[in-house]
């Protein structure tokens, strides 16, 4: 497992750094209390592999973490193989972006004077802090792969300390046209990932698709942003369908193909129970699962969970899309949704409740808040609606009997 071996800092440049139990990485600054931390440089944090330090030890030198002036000593990651722009996630909160590989040797640095050898210029890398937080020895390292979902722009960042030029990652937005049985149905604005899941989930949510067995063929054109789906039986729909819809409150130009009168769902009946502490644990994991959000703060997330873990996770610029991607994957991969929960980062409104009710999901949880109609519909449909989950607090709006606080 790739992990942090040591967190090191020093009050002066050109000196060995000392390991500390825990450090705080500050966004667009670096390791708090370290001499190299600076908002006006792209070299805010330095990283060096423990494997490189071990190679020097084998030459007979007594060296360890921090001796080569690195902030973070890593293990299990080939740092030099990471191209500039790579995102590095540490623990649950921290996100770094690689900005430089190696450097020119600092004349007269402590380790060079003492042993005549310094590996940092050849084997160290540097990064800027995109999202800050605590970091400590043992924290897990994940190498992010979000290039297809983000685009980097050169921007000017203004703070109380002045103006600096930096590269900033922004969430990508793309159109997706869904063609059902050679009839163009709708164009959604979405994140350009998992388009097949989104198309299937959307068609299922809107009543055009009942099961996986109804699908004859799916063709995905990622470059043009088109998904063509053919059903076993030709499902015809009139042009009236296109005008009989609710323009939803969702991000990404949400639309639902039913009228307000038609928007009814069967009541959810479930004996499912969950402990309050299990909700807090799941939401905490949920909030730390999206590398795209940590990089951009520009997407919504959704997850299907049981009492113990996240089973399916998705991101999208639209909160409806993120949920439809979950349901599309569940339908195609035969993942059960009954007696399970949905966690979402977005507002819980009426159309979201109808989506989850169709899948027999008894509990929906959000770190955001519901609308009044959302609360009324959740109550009518027998769904437990939980909102504003923060730390060890949450608001239970409907059917609180499914939540246990004492293990009963």
User: Which pLDDT score, from 0 to 100, does residue 257 have?
Assistant: 52
Q: How far apart are CA 384 and CA 320, in angstroms?
A: 19
Query: Strand 30-31's sheet: what is its strand order?
Result: 30-31, 22-26, 133-136
Tens digits of residue pLDDT in 120-162: 888 899 999 999 999 999 999 988 766 678 887 888 878 776 7
251 an active-site residue? yes
DSSP SS3 for 253: coil
Comparison of pLDDT for 188 and 117, the residue scoring more: 188
- Provide the mean pLDDT of the chain: 87
Mean pLDDT of 357-381: 96
For residue 262, pLDDT over 60 is answered with no
Tens digits of residue pLDDT in 232-250: 988 666 555 554 444 444 5
User: Which pLDDT score, from 0 to 100, does residue 375 have?
Assistant: 97
Beta bridge partners of 8: 19
Domains and CATH numbers, the chain: 3-144 (2.40.33.20), 174-256 (3.10.20.10), 274-404 (3.40.140.10)
Which residue has 């499902």 as its token pair? 235
Mean pLDDT of 348-367: 95
Distance between first and last Cα of the chain? 37
pTM reported for the whole predicted model:
0.71
Asked if 46 and 72 count as a contact pair (C-beta separation under 8 A), the reply is yes
Per-residue pLDDT band for 253 (boundaries 50, 70, 90) equals: very low
User: Which pLDDT score, from 0 to 100, does residue 246 have?
Assistant: 45
What is the b/e burial string over 94-133, where b = at least 16 CB atoms within 10 angstroms of the residue's CB? bbbbbbebeeeeeeebbbbeeeeebbbeebbbbbbbbbbb
Q: Among 8, 109, 251, 305, which one carries the catalytic annotation? A: 251
Q: What percent of the chain has pLDDT over 70?
A: 87
């Amino acid at each position: 497992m790739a992990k942090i071996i040591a967190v090191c800092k020093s009050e002066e440049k050109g000196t060995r750094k000392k390991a500390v139990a825990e450090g705080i990485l500050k966004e667009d600054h670096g390791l708090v209390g370290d001499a190299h931390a600076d908002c006006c440089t792209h070299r805010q944090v330095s990283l060096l592999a423990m494997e490189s330090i071990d190679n020097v030890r084998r030459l007979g030198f007594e060296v360890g973490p921090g001796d080569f002036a690195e902030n973070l000593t890593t293990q299990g990651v080939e740092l030099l193989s990471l191209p500039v722009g790579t995102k590095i996630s540490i623990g649950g909160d921290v996100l770094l972006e690689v900005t430089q590989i190696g450097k020119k040797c600092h004349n007269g640095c402590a380790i060079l004077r003492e042993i005549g050898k310094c590996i940092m210029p050849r084997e160290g890398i540097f990064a800027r802090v995109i999202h800050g937080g605590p970091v400590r020895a043992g924290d897990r390292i994940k190498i992010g792969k979000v290039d297809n979902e983000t685009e980097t722009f050169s921007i000017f960042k203004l703070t109380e300390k002045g103006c600096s030029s930096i590269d900033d990652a922004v969430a990508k937005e793309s159109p997706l046209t869904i063609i059902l049985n050679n009839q163009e149905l709708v164009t959604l604005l979405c994140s350009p990932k998992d388009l097949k899941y989104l198309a299937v989930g959307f068609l299922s949510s809107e009543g055009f698709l009942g099961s996986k067995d109804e699908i004859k063929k799916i063709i995905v054109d990622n470059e043009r942003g088109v998904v063509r789906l053919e059903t076993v039986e030709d499902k015809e729909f009139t042009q009236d369908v296109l005008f009989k819809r609710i323009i939803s409150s969702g991000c990404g130009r949400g639309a639902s193909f039913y009228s307000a009168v038609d928007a009814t769902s069967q009541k959810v009946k479930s004996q499912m129970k969950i402990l309050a502490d299990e909700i807090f644990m799941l939401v905490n994991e949920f909030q730390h699962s999206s590398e795209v959000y940590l990089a951009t703060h520009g997407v919504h997330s959704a997850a299907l969970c049981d009492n113990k873990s996240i089973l399916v996770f998705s991101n999208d610029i639209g909160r409806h899309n993120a949920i439809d991607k979950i349901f599309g994957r569940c339908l195609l991969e035969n993942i059960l949704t009954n007696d399970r929960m949905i966690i979402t980062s977005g507002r819980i409104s009426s159309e979201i409740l109808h989506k989850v009710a169709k899948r027999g999901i008894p509990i929906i949880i959000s770190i955001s808040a519901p609308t009044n109609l959302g609360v009324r519909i959740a109550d009518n449909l027998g769904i437990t609606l939980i909102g504003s989950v923060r730390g060890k607090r949450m608001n239970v709006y409907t059917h609180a009997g499914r939540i246990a606080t004492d293990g009963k």
